[in-house]
């Protein structure tokens, strides 16, 4: 379906470019954008390697463990059915910690591992469990204290103040996170009332 959407957008753009007599400019812009995209990917790759290395240093130095201990009480409240000593719990905490640091690419493997572990605790393997749904809601809307990737993108684009978005990002991501958790709880309560 998404392929058809992209095809429709491309075809519409080409139609209007041809109708307006701007095919030359459109072709030049397409080639220029393709070149810029490759350069941006290379810059992001380098910055991503830097931040992933910083996360690895933080992990080995024990900083991530400290952050995980700070997050654990919240995680226990959000995932009461997951035993704290279960590997799923530590994967959930690491996922939240990576998201807090704005490292979505580092958070994804922890999230996938947490889902695998949560599946072992799932009494109905063909249906997502409540902790799995909560983790998905949290992972897609987690609070970001330090938006490292966005800062990196702004830095590579030549921004004079790449860190100016930290406050707005913290506020917006906090609102989204709280809303996602409230919606998750509301839907779960409604489903519980239906089941009675």
**121-147 per-position pLDDT tens digit:** 888 888 888 889 899 888 888 888 888
The structure tokens 């591992």 sit at: 113
Residue 148: closest CA among 170, 172, 181:
170
Q: What pLDDT score does 143 carry?
A: 83
Q: For 60-101, how does the pLDDT look when each residue is reduced to its tens digit (9 = 90+)?
A: 887 767 777 787 888 888 888 888 788 888 888 888 887 887
Q: Is the pLDDT of residue 56 over 80?
A: no
The pLDDT score that the predictor gives to residue 115 is 92
All residues at 6 or more sequence positions from 179 whose CB lies less than 8 Å from its CB, including other chains: 141
When the pLDDT of each residue in the chain is averaged and rounded to a whole number, the result is 84
Where are the chain's structural domains?
A: 39-195
Q: Which residues make Cβ contacts (< 8 Å) with residue 123, sequence separation at least 6?
A: 129
Specify the pLDDT at position 171: 93
**CA proximity to 130, closest of 69, 55, 80:** 80
- 3-class SS string, the chain: CHHHHHHHHHHHHHHHHHHCCCHHHHHHHHHHHHHHHHHHHHHHHHHHHHHHHHHHHHHHHCHHHHHHHHHHHHHHHHCCCCCCCCHHHHHHHHHHHHHHCCCHHHHHHHHHHHHHHHHHHCCCCCCCCHHHHHHHHHHHCCCCCCCHHHHHHHHHCCCCCCCCCHHHHHHHHHHHHHHHHHHHHHHHHHHHHHHC
Q: What is the pLDDT at residue 141?
A: 86
> Which is it for the CA torsion 177, 183, 189, 191, positive or negative?
negative
With tokens 């989204």, the residue in question is 176
């Amino acid at each position: 379906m998404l392929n058809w959407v992209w095809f429709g957008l491309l075809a519409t753009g080409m139609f209007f470019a041809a109708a307006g007599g701007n095919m030359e400019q459109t072709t030049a812009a397409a080639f220029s954008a393709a070149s810029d995209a490759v350069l941006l990917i290379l810059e992001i790759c380098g910055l991503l390697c830097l931040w992933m290395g910083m996360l690895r240093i933080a992990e080995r130095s024990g900083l991530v463990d400290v952050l995980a201990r700070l997050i654990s009480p919240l995680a226990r409240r959000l995932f009461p059915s997951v035993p704290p000593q279960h590997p799923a719990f530590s994967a959930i905490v690491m996922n939240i910690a990576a998201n807090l640091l704005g490292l979505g690419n580092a958070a994804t493997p922890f999230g996938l591992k947490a889902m695998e572990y949560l599946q072992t605790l799932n009494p109905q393997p063909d249906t997502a469990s409540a902790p799995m749904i909560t983790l998905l809601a949290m992972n897609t809307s987690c609070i970001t204290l330090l938006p490292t990737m966005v800062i990196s993108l702004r830095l590579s684009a030549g921004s004079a103040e790449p860190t100016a978005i930290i406050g707005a990002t913290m506020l917006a991501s906090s609102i989204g996170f709280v809303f996602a958790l409230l919606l998750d709880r509301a839907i779960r309560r409604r489903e519980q009332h239906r089941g009675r």
